[in-house]
Structure 1
Amino acid sequence: MARIITLGSLNLDFTYQLPKPLEVGETLSSLSYRCGAGGKGANQSIAAARAGAEVYHAGRIGHDGALLRRTLADSGVKLDFLEEVETPTGHAVVLINDAGDNSIVLYGGANRTIDETFIDRVTSAANPGDILLLQNEVTCISHAMEAGRKAGMRVAFNFAPFDPKLAPELPLSLCDFLFLNRIEAGGIAGKSDVEEILETLSCRFPETELVLTLGPDGAVALTPAGERFHADSPRVEVVETTAAGDTFIGYYLAAVLDGFDTGRALERACRAAALCCSRAGAAESIPTRAELDR
């Protein structure tokens, strides 16, 4: 069976709960603090593994990254391509306000040491049909897309964090799956209306399955065959949204590997993301397949 190989970020998340949104120039005392495992790459690997997929994580941590190694392993992610380097582990400072919304400051650290040699070593070990899952928190993304396609892998890219300057430089036409939120999709398409965004991107990337997450409005997918699907997001009491998008992606791709059609994969991913939002934390908030199937 095909596997997911995530070439992605590994972060330590330093999370502070705030009593209200932080204003410019304001100092606030936090209500709580915790340190947990995170990074978009790690979160997506964990989500896919908890959804039942066979997942390998390819990335780098520093000597301070034991928590990440342990969390990935405990979630069933295989660590054959995890390397420890001298550069400190990447980290994020996450500020959560009283509405459950978050603001995040990133330090790339070891994530920014990914090079072409490392990527070639990972993709050379892949099997045709494996999924190479990428995000925009590590280096050499263009090379990874090209190497993955050359190895016969299906390339999935989550363009987050979004960088408008990078968008024209990336070979996005090599992607079999492109995961975007409304802002990211609008930034690439130069449009704001969802219908116009889908039309523009489908013309630009006709061989790519486009998946747009719309927050509380659910998600929409447009296949290369022109089939369009929409799934609603279940209503939950939002505690924190930190890993919701990553949970969505991991569950969506796991569903694809399980043979689900696009509509069912979309619905399952939305349910998993909603459940994630009802909990605090990043990796620790991602549900298991058993929880979703109850």
Structure 2
Amino acid sequence: MAIWNLGSINADMVYAMPHLPAAGETLAALRLDRFLGGKGANMSVAATRAGSKVHHIGAVGPDGAWAVARLQAYGAGTGHIAQVETPTGHAIIAVEPGGENQIILFPGANRVLDRDRLDQALTQADAGDILVMQNETSLQAEAAQLGRQLGLRVCYAAAPFDAEAVQAVLPYLDFLILNEVEAQQLQQATGDTPGEIGVKDVIVTLGAKGARHIDGETGAVLEIPALPVAAVDTTGAGDTFTGYVLSALDRGLPMAEAMTQASRAAALMVTRRGTADVIPDLQEVQTARF
């Protein structure tokens, strides 16, 4: 099986700050690092490092060859990444000593992927493969609909959250992942709880409280606790969790085991500074002591 990821590709400019800046405040950074990032690239790297075959569908600008090379070096398939005239997406990320962050996102090339590229990619997928998307690219609803038609397991990570974007893909979803705040926002928009929206599998991530799986068919709820760690940077932790969950399911693990493995990966991730470049591999996740 394989994972097909319609995902963003960004340059993450990460600034270590003494505290998060307030409105109107000029604040000197303590350090600057550049990482491969974007929710899509993070998930592709996480799923690849977790042991799955991943095909990334996306776009970069003339300045993005380094990002494609980095994805390829980590083992992700890059044959469906287009080069366009729009600059590569990037994020400006401020991180304070406790690990909390603020992010300014420039979508760039991620929002100009064309339908032909998407169709060429997904028609090579096999029924039962996983398709995952996030709200950082164009063609999300079109991809979800095509994925359903092709018999793929269609998954959506509902971030950055937009109620209209989520509702556009809901009819085609098999799997939805969102955080606690996003779950509340979706319920306000639809009037339905996560277990009532008609999606077979829903995971609500709860930060330091862990994660919750809701079976949309039976209503059964599974709670997976978070692991106690000293966080230094929470950027990319949710993407790492998602990539690991999908990889585990792709490899045939049951949901409880998949979420437990993903929780371990996310716990390791928050102890590191950076995004895609510091996502742990499966051996690290399996042998880590908490």
Q: TM-score range by the shorter chain?
A: over 0.9
**Residue identity opposite 1:268 in structure 2:** Q
TM-score by length of 2: 0.95
C-alpha displacement at 1:99, in angstroms?
1.6
CA RMSD in angstroms, aligned pairs only: 1.6
**Correspondent of 2:173 among 159, 163, 175:** 175
* Count of aligned residue pairs for this structure pair: 286
Q: Provide the rounded CA distance (Å) in 1 between the counterparts of 2:36 and 2:134.
A: 17
Answer yes or no: is 1:273 the counterpart of 2:272.
Answer: no
Q: Matched residue of 1:171: which SS?
A: helix
Partners of 2:140 and 2:169 within 8 A in 1: no
- Say yes or no: does 1:141 pair with 2:140: yes
Separation in 2, partners of 1:66, 1:203? 43
Distance 1:198 1:283, change over 3 A: farther
CA displacement, residues 205-236 of structure 1 (integer Å, 9 cap, x when unaligned): 1x420001000000010123333211111111
Q: Is the 8 A contact 1:230 1:266 kept in 2?
A: no
8 Å contact kept, 1:173–1:208: no
Which residue identity is paired with 1:215? Answer: G
Q: 1:10 is matched with which residue?
A: 9
Q: 2:255: which partner in 1? A: 262
Distance across 2 between alignment mates of 1:199 and 1:274: 31
Helix, strand or coil: the match of 1:239?
coil
How far apart, in 1, do the equivalents of 2:197 and 2:108 lie? 34
Q: Is the 8 A contact 1:243 1:285 kept in 2?
A: no
Show the 5 A alignment for 1:155-166.
155-166=154-165
User: Is the contact made by 2:127 and 2:150 (CA closer than 8 Å) also made in structure 1?
Assistant: yes
Between the aligned partners of 1:199 and 1:270, the Cα distance in structure 2 is 27
Q: 2:208 aligns with which of 216, 236, 241?
A: 216
Aligned to 1:184: 182
Offset of 1:199 from its aligned partner? 7.1
What is the CA–CA distance in structure 2 between the aligned matches of 1:182 and 1:41, rounded to whole Å? 20
Show the counterpart of 1:48.
47
Aligned partners of 1:94 and 1:104 also within 8 Å:
yes
* 1:97 aligned partner: 96
Per mean C-alpha deviation after superposition, the further-off stretch among 131-140 and 69-78 is 69-78
Partner of 1:194: none
Determine if contact 1:13/1:92 at 8 Å carries over to the other structure: yes
User: Separation in 2 of the partners of 1:79 and 1:245?
Assistant: 23
SS at match of 1:20: coil
Equivalent residue letter for 1:181: N
SS in 2 for 1:143: helix
Cα shift at 1:198: 12
Corresponding residue to 1:284 among 277, 283, 288? 277
- The answer to whether the 8 A contact 2:13-2:34 is kept is yes
Matched, 1:27 2:20: no
TM-score normalized by the length of structure 1: 0.93
Q: Give unpaired runs (5+ residues) of structure 1.
A: 192-196
Q: Which amino acid aligns with 1:62?
A: G
Q: Alpha-carbon deviations, 1:38-63, whole Å to 9, x = none?
A: 00000000000000011110101112
Q: Distance in 2 between matches of 1:139 and 1:24?
A: 31
Identity of aligned residues (%): 39
Equivalent position of 1:248 in the other structure: 241
